[in-house]
Amino acid sequence: MTAAANAIKINMNEYINAAKEALSMSFIQRALISGIMLGIFSGIISVFIVLRRISFLGSGISHAAFGGVAIGFVTGINPIFTALAYSILTAIGIEQISAKGKVSEDTAIGIFFASSMALGIVLIGLSTSYNVDLHGYLFGSILAITHSDMTATIAMSLILTTVIILITKELHFITFNEELAYSSGIRVRLIKFIFITSMAIAIVTGIKLVGVILVSALLVIPGATANLITNSLFKMIIASSFITLFSIISGISISYLFNLAPGGTIVLIMSACFAAAYFLRKRY
Partner 1 sequence: MNAVEIKNLTTVLNGIEVIKNINLTLEQGKFLGIVGPNGCGKTTLLRTIIGSATPLSGSVTVFGMTPKEAVKAHIFGYLPQNQNIINNFPARSMDVVLMGLYGQLGLFRWPTKKHKQKAYEMLDILGMSGLGNATFSKLSGGQKQRISIARALINNPKLLILDEPSTGIDMVGQTDFYQLLKELQNQIGLSIIMVSHDIGAITTFVDEIACINKTLYYHGNPFGALDRQVLEKLYGRKVSLVTHSDCCSQCDKNKHE
CA end-to-end span of the chain:
45
State which of residues 2, 4, 102, 125 lies at the interface with partner 1 (CB under 8 A): 102
Of positions 29, 127, 197, 227, contacts partner 1 by CB under 8 A: 227
Residues 169 and 151: their CA atoms lie apart, in Å, by: 29
Q: Least distance (Å) from partner 1 to the CB of residue 163?
A: 11
One of 236, 245, 269, 270 touching partner 1 (CB under 8 A): 236
Pattern 104-143, partner 1, x by CB under 8 A:
----------------------------------------
Residue pair 33/42 in contact (Cβ under 8 Å)? The answer is no
Q: Residue 172 or 246: which CB sits closer to partner 1? A: 172
Out of 232, 250, 276, 280, point to the residue binding partner 1 (CB under 8 A).
232
Position 179 contacts partner 1 (CB under 8 A) = yes
User: What is the DSSP secondary-structure string of 114-152?
Assistant: HHHHHHHHHHHHH-----S-HHHHHH--GGG--HHHHHH
User: Rounded to whole angstroms, what are the CA distances from 54 to 47, 108, 118, 244?
Assistant: 11, 12, 23, 19
| C-beta of residue 263 within 8 angstroms of C-beta of residue 140 | yes
To partner 1, the closest distance from the beta carbon of 167 in angstroms equals 7
Q: What mask of x and - would describe binding to partner 1 in positions 4 to 43, judged by CB under 8 A? A: ----------------------------------------
Q: Does 51 bind partner 1 (CB under 8 A)?
A: yes
As a whole number of angstroms, the distance between CA 199 and CA 158 comes to: 14
Q: Rounded to whole angstroms, what are the CA distances from 158 to 6, 134, 276?
A: 46, 29, 30
Q: CA of 246: how far to CAs of 172, 174, 240, 269, in Å?
A: 25, 29, 10, 9
Q: Which stretch binds partner 1 (CB under 8 A): 20-28, 62-70, 90-98, 228-236?
A: 228-236
Q: Does residue 172 belong to the site contacting partner 1 (CB under 8 A)?
A: yes
Judged by the rule CB under 8 A, the positions of this chain that interact with partner 1 are 51, 53, 101-102, 166-167, 169-170, 172-173, 175-177, 179-186, 227, 230-233, 235-236
